[in-house]
Structure 1
Amino acid sequence: MNSEAQLAEYFQRNPAGIRFAGRVQWFRRQLTAWGKVNLRDFPWRNTRDAYAIFVAECLLQKTDAATVLPFYKTFLERYPTLSDLAAASVAEVGELLQPLGLFFRAERLVEAAKLLQTQYDGKIPQTEAELLKLPGVGKYTARSLLAHAFAQPASILDTNVARIFERFFGLQGDRVKSRCPILWKATEIALPASNVSRWNLILLDFGAAVCTARNPRCGECPLRSRCQFLNH
């Protein structure tokens, strides 16, 4: 049985899958209302510039948004275009990002910029398959770019998003959440018909502010009345 058939069977026969199918609309409605008041504001969220979003996604890997913010601004002042970054040395970019740690980010950013210049005519690709060929770009980063830069209906999944879906719907993901096909399928089913980029941001912010790994703020959670984690 292939993975698609396995997922279909899971959502048809598993009690959690049945609960999932019947509660998606309410889940979306509650979180969308929460997002209208609580969505965080960062400059990379207020642009459709694929290059700027690509830079932000790379800097945000393993680093929280508040820490990245000043470096993001400085980075784009120093390298305002993809060609500027492609012409830079890894050492130069590494020095700029040194306070963030994780030197591999500088290497990947420069390598990706050079690859984009030579093989993609200096443009960020608009398909997941092509984005995944870039250094440092995994499924999460690729799909986040597709949704935010190109308004494509691409869901995202990281440990924070996985936690929301597992708790509310009573799903059980694999140990490595970002590779779990059932959780990826769940995020895809839950996508709204429009404003997918905003929906993805709502999930990220809700996981950071309310449905946290430790000491979740269940008392003020808009999902609490139907949450499997809280009520079972």
Structure 2
Amino acid sequence: MIDNQLPITKLRWFRRQLKAWACGHLRNFPWRRTKDAYAILVAEFLLQKTNADTVAPVYQRFMERYPTLNALAAAREEDVTMLLRPLGLSFRADRLRQSTQLILKNYQGKIPKTEAQLLKLPGVGKYTARSICAHAFGQRKAVLDTNVARIFERFFGLSGGRVKWRSQELQSAVEEAAPTTNVGMWNLTLLDFGAAVCTARHPRCGECPLQEQCQYARESNIDEKIINKPIYM
């Protein structure tokens, strides 16, 4: 943790506002309705650099054909590649199969439960490892990507530089902000909020539940009446 911690009062307000927003705004995808570690591992591989709406139908077909880790490990490489072709990034099919084979060999067919172990799998980076830990195993692992970074930079006035996921300041901030329980849902809240409201271009500040205390909103040319309009409580 870096020395400059987030203001506790502002942080608590930030959490409350986003949790309230999440109640009626989270997107519904099949991998979000399961705690099965294998299913979540597959979803995280498919979601790498690919829009969730594009992934959803492919994920459904993939899980119908390869419902277990053993089924995927026994699959022919060309069959897996063909099934994932609509998503592009053909290398991910090979890395996914390599990972399943390593899991069978080194972890008795059980998905590793620690970030360090997951990072040893081909194609698994910090974001993917932490997401699996949070969603499949309920661990307090906050994720950091460009969408999450944008929310924290704007609201708290932080600066993560050009490569956000390498920023120690941002990583410390997202870890500090994560609640003690249900971090998987918190991660989804941040991802969906960044996709729907705090967007890279043309952020929807006029309907943002964070605008009252947002550093970006205060410094931008947003009408005072909009800033002071009722927010989600």
Shorter-chain TM-score above 0.5: yes
Hey, which of these two has a bigger chunk of helix by percent? Answer: 1
Pair 1:140-2:127 in alignment: yes
* Alignment-derived partner of residue 78 in structure 1: 65
Measured after TM superposition, the shift of residue 174 of structure 1 is 2.3
Letter in 2 for 1:167: R
Distance 1:81 1:109 in 2: 13
Structure 2 spans left out of the alignment, 5+ residues? 220-233
* Alignment-derived partner of residue 194 in structure 1: 181
* Alignment-derived partner of residue 141 in structure 2: 154
Distance 2:125 2:161 in 1: 18
Q: 1:87 aligns with which of 60, 70, 74?
A: 74
Pair 1:212-2:194 in alignment: no
Measured after TM superposition, the shift of residue 138 of structure 1 is 0.6
Distance 1:104 1:48 in 2: 26
Q: 1:25 aligns with which of 12, 27, 41?
A: 12
* Alignment-derived partner of residue 122 in structure 1: 109
Secondary structure at the residue paired with 1:173?
coil
Q: 1:55 aligns with which of 17, 42, 48?
A: 42
92-101 or 200-209, which moves further after superposition? 92-101
* Alignment-derived partner of residue 113 in structure 1: 100
Measured after TM superposition, the shift of residue 192 of structure 1 is 1.0
Measured after TM superposition, the shift of residue 179 of structure 1 is 1.4
Q: Over aligned residue pairs, what C-alpha RMSD do you find?
A: 1.0
* Alignment-derived partner of residue 14 in structure 1: none
Secondary structure at the residue paired with 1:110?
helix
Letter in 2 for 1:197: G
Distance 1:183 1:90 in 2: 38
Distance 1:142 1:114 in 2: 17
- Contact 1:192 1:199 survives alignment (8 Å): yes
Pair 1:37-2:24 in alignment: yes
Q: 1:181 aligns with which of 149, 165, 168?
A: 168
Secondary structure at the residue paired with 1:175?
coil
* Alignment-derived partner of residue 150 in structure 2: 163
- Contact 1:89 1:110 survives alignment (8 Å): no
Secondary structure at the residue paired with 1:202?
helix
89-98 or 149-158, which moves further after superposition? 89-98
Q: 1:223 aligns with which of 210, 222, 226?
A: 210
Measured after TM superposition, the shift of residue 193 of structure 1 is 2.0
* Alignment-derived partner of residue 51 in structure 2: 64
Distance 1:108 1:174 in 2: 30
Deviation per CA, 1:75-124: give whole Å up to 9, x if none: 01111100111111322111111111110110111100111111110111
Secondary structure at the residue paired with 2:23?
helix
Structure 1 spans left out of the alignment, 5+ residues? 12-16
Measured after TM superposition, the shift of residue 21 of structure 1 is 3.8
Between the two proteins, what is the percent identity of the paired residues?
62
Measured after TM superposition, the shift of residue 170 of structure 1 is 0.1
Distance 1:106 1:168 in 2: 38
Count of matched residue positions in the alignment of Structure 1 and Structure 2: 219
TM-score, with length taken from structure 2:
0.92
Letter in 2 for 1:85: L
Letter in 1 for 2:90: F
4+ residue runs of structure 1 moved beyond 4 angstroms?
none
TM-score, with length taken from structure 1:
0.92
Secondary structure at the residue paired with 1:80?
coil
Deviation per CA, 1:144-169: give whole Å up to 9, x if none: 00010000111000000000000000
